[in-house]
Amino acid sequence: MIDEKFLREAKQALLKEKKTTQAQIEKCEEEERNILTGDYEKGDRLNPLAVNRQNHRSLKEELQDIEAALVRIEDGSYNICPDCHQNIDKARLRRGKYYVKRDAACQQSWEKTHPRKYWS
């Protein structure tokens, strides 16, 4: 069973990360407006926009993962792997910025079937 102290630690870290991510999303959106209204040569304009949208998408996904982790803290399923129902160890949760969902083995097989560019 996971202890209250660790849950508090996780929640605090997640809330902090959520703030940071939201700020980054706002910055990203501002950047997009700058790119769209800026004096970019036609040829240069597409690239920064595409890169920025890619970042934006990753940040949104990260935010969703953070929010989902916060929900799991509330409903008591925080450190339980949804695939094998084993506990995920604290070291892994810490390393995964507290919003990893699966243990290492399940994450690996999940990634094989769900390729995503920003998985580390």
- From the number of C-beta atoms within 10 Å of its C-beta (0-12, 13-18, 19+), residue 101 rates as buried
With beta carbons less than 8 A apart as the criterion, state whether 75 and 68 touch.
no
Find the binder of Zn ion among 23, 50, 84, 104 (CB under 5 A).
84
Q: Is 106 in the site for Zn ion (CB under 5 A)?
A: yes
Note whether 104 binds Zn ion by CB under 5 A: no
Nearer to Zn ion, 33 or 112 (CB): 112
Stretch of residues binding Zn ion (CB under 5 A), selected from 1-9, 17-25, 44-52, 83-91: 83-91
